[in-house]
């Protein structure tokens, strides 16, 4: 006889119980199937340089970004992408960084 529990209305409902291997199998299936429906922007991430700027110094960076036939599935946009100018400015105010 399967295990049951009494609901708030007084009726008997079957109690669902899963063993550890069943949970692992279900998690693996979900991990395989769910990411296939996710969409994300497929382009490199823009990251900052890990270098520090010394006290009393200024670092100025400039550049451009161009992508041909870029596709952005989240927004539905596609075409060429040109970003100009890309400018970065870092100012050194202290010779030591603050501890985290």
Q: Of 48 and 79, which is predicted with more confidence?
A: 79
Asked if 33 and 25 touch (Cβ cutoff 8 Å), the reply is no
How far, in Å, CA of 61 to CA of 47, rounded? 13
pLDDT digits (tens, 9 = 90+) for 28-74: 888 887 765 555 555 566 677 677 888 888 989 898 888 888 888 78
- Tell the burial category of 11 from Cβ atoms under 10 Å away from its Cβ (0-12, 13-18, 19+): exposed
> Would you state the pLDDT for residue 1?
47
Whether the CB-CB separation of 15 and 4 falls below 8 Å is answered with yes
List, for residues 89-99, the tens digit of each pLDDT value: 888 887 665 55
CA distance 91 to 52: 9
């Amino acid at each position: 006889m399967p295990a049951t529990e009494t609901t708030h209305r007084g009726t008997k409902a079957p109690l669902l119980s899963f063993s550890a291997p069943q949970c692992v199998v279900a998690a693996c299936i979900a991990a395989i199937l769910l990411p296939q429906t996710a969409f994300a922007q497929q382009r490199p991430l823009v990251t900052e340089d890990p270098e520090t700027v010394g006290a009393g110094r200024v670092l100025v960076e400039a550049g451009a970004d161009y992508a041909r036939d870029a596709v952005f599935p989240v927004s539905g946009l596609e075409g060429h992408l040109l970003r100009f100018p890309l400018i970065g400015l870092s100012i050194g105010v202290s010779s030591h960084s603050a501890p985290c």
